[in-house]
Each structure stands twice: as C-alpha cells, then as structure tokens.
C-alpha cells in the first residue's frame, strides 16, 4: 500500500497517523481573565513558549474578560483565520460564579473529545490530588479547528501541553482536516 493510501487507512496505527501529520501547527492562544494583563498573563506565556519551543507557530493571542459573548467572539474569529488550526484557551474553567469559559466553548463545539478532559484530570490528580475534579478542561472541534480549554494555572497549562497537546497536536490537526 502506498503512503497516500495508508494515511487514509482506518486500520492505520496512531504512530502511522503521526508520521503523516503536519509538524508545524498554527495556533491561537486566548487568556480568559477579569484581571490579567499582557504583563501578568503567565499562563498564556507558558502556552506560547511551549508551542514555539516545539516548533509550532503562534498566529495570535488575546486576553478577554470572562464573558461568554466575548470568549465566543474571539474563538470564532480565530477559527476563521486561514492559518489557525488550533485554539487554546486558558482560564475560566473552574466552578466559581465568574467561570464561564466551559459553557461559552461548549456552545461552539460541533464535536467533543471528552477523553482530553478525562486524561487531563487523571494527570492533574497525580499532581494536586482530589482538587483535580474542580477542573472543567475540555477539547472539541469548531469549524474544523481544534479548540482546547485549559485551566488558568500555569502549572496546569504546562501539564496539558507537555503530556497531552504537544504529543498529539499534529495528529489532531491531521484527523480534523480529513
């Protein structure tokens, strides 16, 4: 079987899929916070640094208040940009009265990847214990783009990027682009 046929073979292994996946991904980073500024956005900085260190491109970034309409407007806009393949948000995934990122993103998703949140919480549990259950990290697809919502903690962002997103980013984009 030739490489082109193998890349569309449903029986192909994840390793074979990764081998035919793009290696440079265009990303947009959105920080959701009522208090962060460009100078104090440590979580957004961690995400941008890890993405660029891994060879990916940060096409843009923004900070918006934890208001569902504002979050949705920025995510929709980012997903319309032809070079953006992945949108990563940080913040607003907890359970306080102001945390509304989960609901804002959930309304946009055409497909959900619940395994991301499940795996993130398992990994987080190993670091912070039962408090991991308070996280509503999620991932899904909007307009054929991957959208991942991470907690606002820099350590949580580092965990999600290093253990889950960076190892599979090309594979995710490959699959959603088919």
pTM of the predicted protein model: 0.92
Q: Residue 130's domain spans which residues?
A: 23-177
Q: What does each of the 178 residues of the chain score in pLDDT, given as a tens digit?
A: 444 444 456 667 878 888 889 999 999 999 999 999 999 999 999 999 999 999 999 999 999 999 999 999 999 999 999 999 999 999 999 999 999 999 999 999 999 999 999 999 999 999 999 999 999 999 999 999 999 999 999 999 999 999 999 999 999 999 999 9
Count of domains in the chain? 1
H helix intervals, 54-165: 68-80, 101-108, 114-128, 154-160
Establish if 116 belongs to a structural domain: yes
Establish if 1 belongs to a structural domain: no
Establish if 168 belongs to a structural domain: yes
Query: The CATH number of the domain where 154 resides is what?
Result: 3.40.980.10
Asked if 146 contacts 86 with a C-beta cutoff of 8 angstroms, the reply is yes
Closest of 154, 139, 141, 146 to residue 102, by C-alpha: 139
Q: What is the rounded (10 degree) CA torsion for 58, 59, 64, 70?
A: -140
């Amino acid at each position: 079987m030739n490489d082109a046929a193998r890349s569309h073979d449903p029986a192909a292994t994840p390793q074979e899929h990764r081998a035919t996946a793009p290696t440079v991904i265009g990303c947009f980073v959105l920080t959701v916070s009522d208090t962060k500024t460009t100078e104090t956005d440590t979580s957004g900085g961690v995400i941008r640094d890890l993405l660029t260190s891994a060879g990916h491109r940060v096409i843009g970034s923004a900070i918006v208040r934890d208001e569902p309409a504002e979050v949705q407007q920025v995510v929709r806009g980012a997903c319309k940009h032809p070079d953006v393949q992945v949108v990563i948000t940080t913040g607003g995934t907890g359970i306080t009265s102001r945390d509304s990122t989960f609901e804002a993103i959930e309304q946009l998703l055409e497909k959900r990847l619940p395994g991301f949140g499940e795996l993130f919480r398992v990994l987080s549990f190993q670091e912070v214990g039962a408090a991991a259950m308070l996280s509503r990290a999620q991932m899904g697809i909007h307009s054929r783009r991957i959208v991942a919502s991470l907690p606002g903690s820099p350590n949580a962002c580092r965990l999600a990027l290093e253990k889950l997103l960076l190892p599979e980013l090309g594979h995710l984009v490959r699959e959603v682009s088919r």
